[in-house]
Every structure is written in C-alpha cells, then in structure tokens.
Amino acid sequence: MKNWLCITVLLAGVISGCGPKAFVKGQYDDDVERTNLLTDKWSETDMQQAVKDLVSSAMAHPAISSAKRPPVLMVTRLQNKTSEHVDTQSITDMMTVELMKSGKVSFVDKAAREDIAEEYEYQDSGMVSRETQKTKGGQTGADFIMNGRLDSIVQEAGKDKTVYYKLTMNMTNLKSGVIVWTDQKQMRKQFKKKRVGG
C-alpha cells in the first residue's frame, strides 16, 4: 500500500510537470530596439530596421529634400505577400511617424475621410456657429501616394532554416502618376532547429 502511494504521488508530479505551461513572470525591456530573434517570424526588430533605412532613403530624395514646401503624402496600402500574418498597418504607421518627425513632410489621413465627410454634414446642419464652421472644398490635396509590398522566401534544409524578407516602398506623384522614389530593404535571418524538451 505504501509503495502504491509513492507511485501515485510520483505519477501525479510527472503529469503535472508535463501539463500546459503559461508565461506568468515578465519584465519590461528597457531597450525596445534590442535585436529580437526569439522566433523565425517577422519581428519588431525587422520592422524597425526596415523603416529606419527606408525613411532615410526617402528623406534624401530630391522630391522631399529639395522641395520648396513640405510635400503632402498619403499612405494607401502595404501588401503582405508573406505566408505570415503581419500587421502591415504598424509598418506604415511607423514610417508615417518617422517621416513626420523630420518636419519635412505632411500627411493626409485617408482612413479619416469618412469621419471628415460626416463632420462636414453635421457642421452644415445649423448646429455649429458660422464662425467655426468648416465647409467643403478647403482640404489640402496629397502630392504623393506611398504604398508598398512585403515579400518573404523561406528555405529549410535539414536543421538549417533561412527566412528572407524584402520590404519595397514606392512614392508616386499624384498629378503625373509617375513613381518618383522607390527603394527596398532586404534582410535574411538564419536559424537552427533544436530539440525542445517537453
């Protein structure tokens, strides 16, 4: 009986040790730009490096650097052509923030257009004073449209795996339809498969 009790306790310990695990202890990382290669997926490090290089390239182009006034940009879409779920909105948001910080460009918000149209209707309803009312026809038009695409190639051979990413961004002159700037950021990450204990 005593032996059976010991075996039961031992088995209970083994079973509980192999049960589902949860991340229960964490801490803030003081350096959000520290390289993150925790997994083989698109990470914030990839986004930060790509955006930094592409923003520098765009800022150096004469369409921005030699402009007599800050050109007005509009970001339309960033296509995700990878096999991963990547939040492309975060990439374009980061590009917008970094470009705006320079003070050399302005942006119009395509996503806000529906809200703006509704606000025009409200302000024209008689509920808003004439002194503060905003009417249609006063918005600033965009000079350039920015869009792009994120591609990836994954290769595996034995225990080795490489993940290649290419982020391409374009800036198109809205009046002429001509692409005035385009650049790409390429990166390749290497991983080795390792047996994980359970």
Using a pLDDT cut of 90, give the percent of the chain over it: 60
pLDDT at 145 over 90: yes
CA distance 92 to 143: 18
Global pTM exceeds 0.85: no
Asked if 44 and 36 count as a contact pair (C-beta separation under 8 A), the reply is yes
pLDDT at 43 over 90: no
Question: Hey, which residues does 182 pair with through a beta bridge?
Answer: 170
**CA contacts within 13 A on the Cβ side of 16:** 6
Q: CB burial class (10 A; 0-12, 13-18, 19+) of residue 34? A: exposed
Tokens, residue 120: 């025009």
Mean pLDDT estimate for the chain: 85
The model's pLDDT over 71-97, given as tens digits with 9 standing for 90+, comes to 999 999 999 999 999 999 999 999 999
Q: Are strands 72-80 and 106-107 parallel, antiparallel or unpaired?
A: parallel
pLDDT of residue 113: 87
Q: What domains lie within the chain, and their CATH numbers? A: 40-124+148-193 (3.40.50)
